[in-house]
Structure 1
């Protein structure tokens, strides 16, 4: 079936695109299959992953690329073999991952365990390949096309501009808290109050009602925001002398969202309580600092990594966020200004997520 729309978006042609030099151009989506959904994009969050990809920070990017993996819009074409109940006109979204084998390959233990987000044959929403070899393109665009299996309905209670950043930033920061049973008896630390970290704070405070939520940052410039979000304490590592000793063994779960190779990692680990867990979700472009294993051994503490979540994890999070009133602190930007949003995020100006909006859907929102 032919469509009366074409796929256009902001394409990065080389590493210089990180400097606000993406170009609006046509691109060719994957061939439509009866298990696919086309989304007319209304909103797309701007994620730090976009920056890493634009500049080939995590490795060579397959240019041209259209970044953006916090996509919300309207389903405008739904294949006949889509079994999820999504229909044309539904408000839907897709996050950082768009495809997985769901154990069809037979040797993918992740899909067999319901962890499709860790599938060894996964397709990322952009800068990746579909099984037929076609490229995946992201959400700085008019339309998105991909498999139904990672497309989720957006709860009515969550506005689209708030929902978009939850589909990557939200689940990335929140999922580790759920995995480690954070709740009313848990003391949580969130390292870094940025696009990811603010979801960790809001999720721990509002959705999980943790008894203690401590934000760890280099300076106190964001302390007022952290306390407004509901944090119970704030550690400024460049300003608070002896912070690692003063707060030693005080946190059950730490979610670290930072991606600096200069982070005081050993100090972070010293904050862990007995049997505590440090989960790193930030993705540095180089190696993390060395640390002493005695930061972990005497306390039987653990160091882990985590990424996003499964489609079911995302659905569960959205439902819980809707019930508990978690709201993204976002700044809406017209889609035509995507280049400026990228530059501003790179310069640390976001408080705390930029959301690209097609002009007929933009509205002013201030949560801070």
Structure 2
């Protein structure tokens, strides 16, 4: 038994993505000694929240409390959890559970994020039948301890929150495909894209290029550390000096209406294009010779493993990386999702629980 209740902003149908979530009490998963209860102080607002609220990727099992960039204080810790104690400042990202089986290709190599049975932080059923996942637009969260992380003292909670999904989503491919010493392109300058610029520079990229639709964010890109800016609205943007100029491109946009062939023309021989944004509809078709002539690689990446998240947090401390965030009170969560959909954040909205006390 606990002396607190689980309450949060519940979405009941697809209209909730338009700012129609309702503050309600709900029942979390059945407690086990593998779990951690977290009193939430901050939660980032991610594009995945809107996709889920409106049943964009798949039918959402309403009611649903979204939010998977959670920071708060551990207030109850299961006896089987050894790396967290009551009172610790902790975080939860986009995953709440994986199968953990030795014959799982993902789990067996420590890549739980690629487990075929991975359970998201909200809107999913736990594998052991103990209930459904509920996210961070709430006052409390319950998550199995394996996916609960210690937050270093040097990182402010407002900054740590968006790192739990937005940050790790771009850190993973930049490390996996080796940004150091390479010319790196970041498609889209939003919550993920601005992390892409910060991380690519800190990882030692030879050049960081932001690729955007217009020139509207060019000055911000330069302030974040970008060396060059390409606007696809410009005639011949994928030709001339831009053609075959990049080793690695990370695409953070979640739109299916992208000039994919043009992006690939920016890659050098055997360059790599990594898609991390997840549109609700298929990506555009690519002519075969676009791949054949330069042997370019198209791949994808999803958040990161538990070890990569720990590595990222330590890297952020070492490099003093600070994302661009804007706080908004938890009571205004409906306004936050509308603002996000309208593209207003510069560059990550973070809900702050006005009722949180340390």
- TM-score, length-scaled by structure 1: 0.95
Candidates 278, 282, 304, aligned match of 2:277: 282
| Count of aligned pairs between the two proteins | 355
2:143 is aligned with 1:146: yes
1: distance between equivalents of 2:50 and 2:321? 26
The separation in 1 between residues aligned to 2:29 and 2:255, in whole angstroms, is: 35
> Which runs of structure 2 are paired with 1:211-226 in the superposition (5 Å)?
211-226=206-221
Distance 2:278 2:200 in 1: 21
Are the equivalent residues in 1 in contact too, given 2:94–2:120 (CA < 8 A)?
yes
The aligned counterpart of 1:245 is 239
Partner SS, residue 266 of structure 1: helix
Q: What does the per-residue CA deviation read over 1:154-181, in whole Å, with 9 as the maximum and x for residues that have no partner? A: 1111000000000000000121010011
Q: Map 1:38-77 onto structure 2 (within 5 A).
A: 38-77=37-76
State the SS of the aligned residue for 1:299.
coil
Structure 2 matches for 1:246-325, cutoff 5 A?
246=240, 247-325=242-320
Q: CA deviation at 1:182?
A: 1.2
Q: Select between 290-299 and 154-163 the one with higher mean Cα deviation.
A: 290-299
Structure 2 residue aligned with 1:348: 343
8 A Cα contact 2:40 2:356, kept in partner: no
Deviations 1:276-316 (A, max 9, x none): 10000010111111111222222221000110001110010
Report how far residue 107 of structure 1 moved: 3.1
Query: In structure 1, what is the equivalent of residue 90 of structure 2?
Result: 92
Q: Which residue of the partner structure matches residue 366 of structure 1?
A: none
Matches within 5 A, 1:10-159: 10-83=9-82, 85-103=83-101, 106-133=102-129, 134-159=131-156
Aligned with 2:227 (options 227, 232, 257): 232
Tell me the CA shift for residue 209 of structure 1.
Answer: 2.0
SS at 1:269 equivalent: helix
Please identify runs of 4+ aligned residues in structure 1 that moved more than 6 A.
none
What secondary structure does 1:109 align onto? coil
**Whole-angstrom distance in 2 between the partners of 1:140 and 1:100:** 22
User: In structure 1, how many angstroms separate the alpha carbons of the residues matched to 2:322 and 2:100?
Assistant: 32
1:194 paired with 2:184, answer no
Following the alignment from structure 1 to structure 2, what is the Cα–Cα distance between the partners of residues 78 and 18? Answer: 33
1:64 positional shift = 0.4
Find the aligned partners of 1:166 and 1:243 in 2 and give their Cα distance.
31
Distance in 2 of aligned mates of 1:269 and 1:361? 47
- Unaligned ranges ≥5, structure 2: none
TM-score by length of 2: 0.97
Cα deviation 1:80-131 (Å, max 9, x = unaligned): 1113x2100000001000111222xx43111111111111122110010112
The runs of 5 or more residues in structure 1 that have no matched partner are 363-368
RMSD: 1.1
In 2, distance between residues paired with 1:341 and 1:302? 37
- The equivalent of 1:204 in structure 2 is 200
CA distance, structure 1, for counterparts of residue 245 and residue 110 of structure 2: 33
CA drift of 1:263 comes to: 0.5
Secondary structure of 2:253's counterpart equals coil
Cα distance change, pair 360–63 in 1 and its aligned pair in 2 (3 A):
closer
**Equivalents in 1 of 2:88, 2:194: separation in Å?**
28
